[in-house]
Structure 1
Amino acid sequence: MGQKVAGTCYIKIDGEQIVITGGVECPLSKVKRETIMPGYFKEEDLAAFISVDALKTPGFPFQKIAEGQDMTITAEFKDGSSYVLSGAYAVDEIKVTGDDGKVSLKFEGVSGDWQ
């Protein structure tokens, strides 16, 4: 029996769905570990994030994305899981490409939880 593990994803910004091109990234862990010497490691907290490539459609919420400082971003995956980023804000440059209308977005936030 086959099992669905990938496919169409959905992104919502404060409940408003945007059109995406498919690529969505969310972290699976909240920490980064690095070995200092075998058997000993250090651990650093990682920022919760969602990275996605969206399409600039009519009514695209540029202002909300650019000015938002406490958004809730939800990534819904085809396998039925969701990642919810709360206290979110856009990081890096927000720009659109003219040849394909793609908007590359990265959001970081206070917390990210898998559901």
Structure 2
Amino acid sequence: MGKKVAGTAYVKVDGMQLTITGGMEAPLMDEKRETVYPGFYKAEKVTPYLKMTAIHDPDLPIKKLTEGTDMTVTGEFANGKVYVLSGGYVVDEPVSKGDDGTIEFQFDGSKGVWQ
């Protein structure tokens, strides 16, 4: 029996669903490890995030998305896994691309949890 592992994904920001084009990205761990000697490692915290490409729908609330500083961002992957980012805010410099009508968003936050 086949298992769905990729395909349509969904993103909601404070309960409002965004239309995204396929890909979405979220970290699997909350720390980055590096080996300093075989069997010994150091770890540093990783900022929780959710990254996606959204359709620039005329109804997209740009101001709410770009000015929000404590949003809940939920990403539902095609395989059924869900990543919830709390304390979310937009980082980097999202730009609207006129040739394909999309905006790349990255939301960083205070906590990210896989459910």
Distance (whole Å) between structure 2 residues aligned to residue 4 and residue 54 of structure 1: 22
Aligned residue in 2 for 1:96 = 96
User: Which deviations, in whole Å up to 9, do the C-alpha atoms of 1:52-90 show, x marking residues without a partner?
Assistant: 000101211100111000000000112221100000000
Q: Distance in 2 between matches of 1:5 and 1:99?
A: 29
1:81 aligns with 2:97: no
- Residue 108 of structure 1 corresponds to 108
Dislocated runs of 4+, deviation >6 Å: none
- One-letter amino acid of the structure 2 residue matched with residue 41 of structure 1: Y
Q: How many Å separate the matches in 2 of 1:79 and 1:34?
A: 29
State the match for 1:20 in structure 2.
20
Residue correspondences, number? 115
Structure 1: runs of 5+ lacking an equivalent: none
- CA deviation vs aligned residue, 1:18-40 (integer Å, no higher than 9, x gap): 11111100011111000111111
Q: What letter is aligned with 1:13?
A: V
Structure 2 unaligned residues grouped into runs of 5+: none
Matched position secondary structure for 1:63: helix
C-alpha separation in 1, matches of 2:23 and 2:80: 17
3-state DSSP class of the match of 1:64? Answer: helix
